[in-house]
């Protein structure tokens, strides 16, 4: 089987098929530490510089301020479990090849947000920081020493007037083909002859992820109460847009799965009430997921960090079939989740914080993984980006043990 075929079998709960050898990803500092500790450097991660769509190209001005060959400490480096392209992140191949892991899943590169995109422009730059407006209209501040995802400072949607302006100018349904990159015809040929899993959606596409991204969290939280009709109009407008875009994609390409990016949960549960989720999100999930499933997209994956235990039944109610990355330090127990939801597809769930504690801790951390692997429908990897305190030798031991578990199934 090729990678695509194996992915579909694993997600279909065929426990006789070996699971996929992916990691969610690594922080840039982690990869640089590994190179300094013995990882052979054959293909140093190179930063993307070409702007195509918001999904693939957000944050490029920040990441590349020192050039495409300087890896920021706080950038994500892709390793399969998180789709690519996304957020201007580069791909790892050196750790992958050394540990004999599988290649990437891919994301259809299409614009799911503002079209035309905003013009990226630098507002202020000094030795410590870069303040700029990105292609999604969000003004961000990038701290150069910290070098993590830039923090939002101002957002394109503030109220009804600003919403009506961007809605009329940048969320029209009569220019759908302008949302596809200039090399779309070449991509269609590649997609249709692929041997890797192909998804649609991605960052920042979601019923919570998109409005929080374009309004800012506090503004959205207040708007749920102060102007619920406006929130519903935002949700309805994007849902109609996404259906129109996906209609065009699916007419030309067969895709394997969809990824919603939500990051709706914190360490002790969701950031909003379940009532808010039910009122402002579930109807739009259902409409979009029903559309996708009717057109053959059967695997519906949702990405949220934190403690999402209370959200799982709500998401499954509207057709979500799988979730990730199941952060264990926030109380996500993959064995418990599997027992409660036997047919929920899962990815992640390996406590990344335990990998730095040595072999005994790694062995204990992998115990639940071995149990859930027996059930199928599970792709194990670290429960977010592998942090810099995980040394190369500990990672090699962890990944080798995990690979052996996968091979035994």
185-235 pLDDT, tens digit each = 999 999 999 999 999 999 999 999 999 999 999 999 999 999 999 999 999
62: which DSSP letter?
H
Please compute the mean of the pLDDT values over residues 398-403 and round it to a whole number.
Answer: 98
Q: Give yes or no for residue 81 having a pLDDT over 80.
A: yes
Q: How confident is the model at residue 21 (pLDDT cuts 50, 70, 90)?
A: very high
Nearest to 105, CA basis, from 29, 182, 202: 202
Provide the pairing of β-strand 257-261 with 299-304: parallel
Residues shown for the chain: 409
How confident is the model over 255-269, as a mean pLDDT?
96
326: tokens are 């199941």
Q: What is the pLDDT of residue 151?
A: 97
* Proportion of the chain above pLDDT 90, given as a percent: 99
- DSSP 8-state assignment for residue 148: S
Average pLDDT along the chain: 97
Measured in whole angstroms, how far is the alpha carbon of residue 314 from the centre of its chain?
20
pLDDT score of 226:
97
C-alpha distances (whole Å) from 79 to each of 29, 105, 384, 385 are 15, 9, 11, 9
Span 247-262, average pLDDT: 98
CA angle in degrees (0–180, nearest 5) for 296-297-300: 155
The DSSP secondary-structure symbol of 142 reads: E
Phi, psi of 236 (to 5 degrees): -65, -40
Tell me the pTM: 0.97
3-state helix, strand, coil in the chain (%, to 5): 40, 15, 45
Q: CA-CA distance, 117 to 315, in Å (whole number)?
A: 31
DSSP strand E in 22-128: where? 25-27, 76-78, 106-107, 121-125
- Whether 140 is covered by a domain: the verdict is no
| Mean pLDDT, residues 284-313 | 98
Does a structural domain hold residue 235?
Answer: yes
pLDDT per position as a tens digit, 222-239: 999 999 999 999 999 999
Return d(Cα 100, Cα 403) in angstroms, integer.
Answer: 9
For residue 127, is it within any domain? no
* Model pLDDT, residue 286: 98
Query: Which DSSP helix (H) or strand (E) runs through 301?
Result: strand 299-304
Domain assignment present for 283? yes
Task: Indicate whether 138 belongs to any domain.
Answer: no
The CATH number covering residue 46 comes to: 3.20.20
Cβ distance 338 to 375 under 8 Å? Answer: yes
Report the SS3 class of residue 74: coil
Please choose, from the candidates 331, 256, 367, the residue with its C-alpha nearest in 3D space to the C-alpha of residue 6: 256
329 contacts 305 by C-beta, under 8 angstroms: no
What are the CB-based long-range contacts (under 8 Å, 24+) for 122-130? 122/61, 125/65, 130/61, 130/62, 130/65
Beta strands 129-133; 121-125: pairing state: antiparallel
Q: Is the pLDDT of residue 409 over 80?
A: no
| CA–CA gap between residue 246 and residue 85 (Å, rounded) | 17
Asked if residue 135 is part of any domain, the answer here is no
pLDDT over 90 (residue 117): yes
Count of domains observed in the chain: 1
Cis peptide before 261 (omega within 30 of 0): no
Q: Is residue 82 part of a domain?
A: yes
Q: Looking at residue 49, what is its pLDDT?
A: 96
The 10s digit of each residue's pLDDT in 327-380 is 999 999 999 999 999 999 999 999 999 999 999 999 999 999 999 999 999 999
Domain that holds residue 316: 3-115+155-408
pLDDT for the residue 321: 98
CB 324 within 8 A of CB 299: no
CA 41 – CA 94 distance, rounded (Å):
6
How sure is the predictor about 272, in pLDDT bands with cuts at 50, 70 and 90? very high
How far apart CA 180 and CA 248 sit, in angstroms, is: 10
User: Burial, 169: exposed, middle or buried (Cβ in 10 Å; 0-12, 13-18, 19+)?
Assistant: exposed
Is 345 contained in some domain?
yes
The token pair that represents 11 in the structure block: 């997600």
Confidence class for position 131, pLDDT limits 50, 70, 90: very high
């Amino acid at each position: 089987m090729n990678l695509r075929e194996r992915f579909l079998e694993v997600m279909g709960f065929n426990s006789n098929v070996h699971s996929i050898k992916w990691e969610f990803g690594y922080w840039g500092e982690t990869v640089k530490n590994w190179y300094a500790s013995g990882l052979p450097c054959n293909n140093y991660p190179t930063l993307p510089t070409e702007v195509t769509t918001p999904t693939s190209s957000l944050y490029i001005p920040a990441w590349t301020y020192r050039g495409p060959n300087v890896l920021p400490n706080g950038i994500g480096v892709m390793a399969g479990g998180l789709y690519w392209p996304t957020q201007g992140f580069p791909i790892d191949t050196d750790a992958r090849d050394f540990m004999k892991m599988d290649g990437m899943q891919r994301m259809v590169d299409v614009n799911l947000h503002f079209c035309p995109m905003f013009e990226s422009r630098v507002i202020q730059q000094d030795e410590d920081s870069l303040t700029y407006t990105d292609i999604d209209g969000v003004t961000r501040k990038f701290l150069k020493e910290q070098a993590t995802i830039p923090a939002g400072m101002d957002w394109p949607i503030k109220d009804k007037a600003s919403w009506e302006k961007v809605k009329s100018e940048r969320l029209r349904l009569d220019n759908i083909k302008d949302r596809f990159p200039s090399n779309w015809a070449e991509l269609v040929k590649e997609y249709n002859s692929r041997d890797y899993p192909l998804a649609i959606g991605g960052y920042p596409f979601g019923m919570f992820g998109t409005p929080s991204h374009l309004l800012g969290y506090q503004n959205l939280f207040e708007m749920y109460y102060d102007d619920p009709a406006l929130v519903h109009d935002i949700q309805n407008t994007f849902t109609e847009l996404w259906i129109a875009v996906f209609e065009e994609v699916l007419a030309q390409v067969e895709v394997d799965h969809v990824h919603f990016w939500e990051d709706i949960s914190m360490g002790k549960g969701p950031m909003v009430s379940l009532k808010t989720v039910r009122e402002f999100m579930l109807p739009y999930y259902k409409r979009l997921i029903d559309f996708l499933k009717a057109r053959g997209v059967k695997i519906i994956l949702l990405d949220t960090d934190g403690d999402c235990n209370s959200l799982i039944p709500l998401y499954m109610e509207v057709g979500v079939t799988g979730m990730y990355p199941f952060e264990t330090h926030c109380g996500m127990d993959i064995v418990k989740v599997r027992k409660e939801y036997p047919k929920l597809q899962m990815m992640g769930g390996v406590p990344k914080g335990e990998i730095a504690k040595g072999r005994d801790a790694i062995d204990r951390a992998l115990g639940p993984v071995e149990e859930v692997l027996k059930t199928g429908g599970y792709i194990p990897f670290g429960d977010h980006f592998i942090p810099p305190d995980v040394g190369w030798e500990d990672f090699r031991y962890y990944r080798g043990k995990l690979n052996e578990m996968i091979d035994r199934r």
